[in-house]
Amino acid sequence: MERTLAVINELEKGGLVSRYAIGGAMGATFYVEPVVTFDLDVFVVLPTDSGGLLTLAPIYEMLRSRGYQEEGECIVIEGIPVQFLPAYNPLLEEALAEARETMYADVPTRVLRVEHLLAIALQTGRPKDHERIRLFLKEADFDRPYLTAILKRHDLEELWERMNG
């Protein structure tokens, strides 16, 4: 995974993404026991093109030029399937802005804060997301007042109460 993250860091240095952070199940493993996952979800802030559109095409073009191949909705970088996910709403934009700088082996990277991972899982609302929330609540250390503020800012308090009431 170190080589995969090094390539993703190059995307940021080259300006193909403005900022990135690891999320999803792989992001969760920075806080709780690993769960089975087959890809690396990388949330990104994309630069806009001259027409104001956001596109992943430059990322895929650069990676293809280096010999990386697409596999379904992922591109395999150094043996790891990576799914690039644009920050498509204010919660994800905030999560990327506040992601934590960390090291994976000797490679610098960013991971979404556990509080944002919780809020994103709640907002997404799939059964596997509800399971991840239960795992976070059981195993992760997190800042409850910070989570409460996130839930309030993004109108998720009622969903939280229904799930955890």
Which of 114, 117, 111 lies closest to 141 in space, CA to CA? 114
pLDDT in tens, the chain (165 residues): 899 999 999 999 999 998 999 999 899 989 998 676 778 999 998 877 667 677 888 999 999 999 999 999 999 999 999 999 999 899 999 999 999 999 999 999 999 999 999 999 999 999 989 998 999 999 999 999 999 999 999 999 999 999 886
Among 1.10.10, 3.40.50, 3.90.550, 3.30.460, what is the CATH number of 2-164?
3.30.460
Q: Where in the chain are the domains?
A: 2-164
With beta carbons less than 8 A apart as the criterion, state whether 40 and 22 touch.
Answer: yes
Each residue's pLDDT tens digit, 18-50: 899 999 989 998 999 867 677 899 999 887 766
pLDDT tens profile 52-67: 677 888 999 999 999 9
pTM assigned to the model: 0.90
Please name the residue ranges forming H helices in 20-156: 24-28, 57-65, 90-97, 114-124, 127-139, 144-153
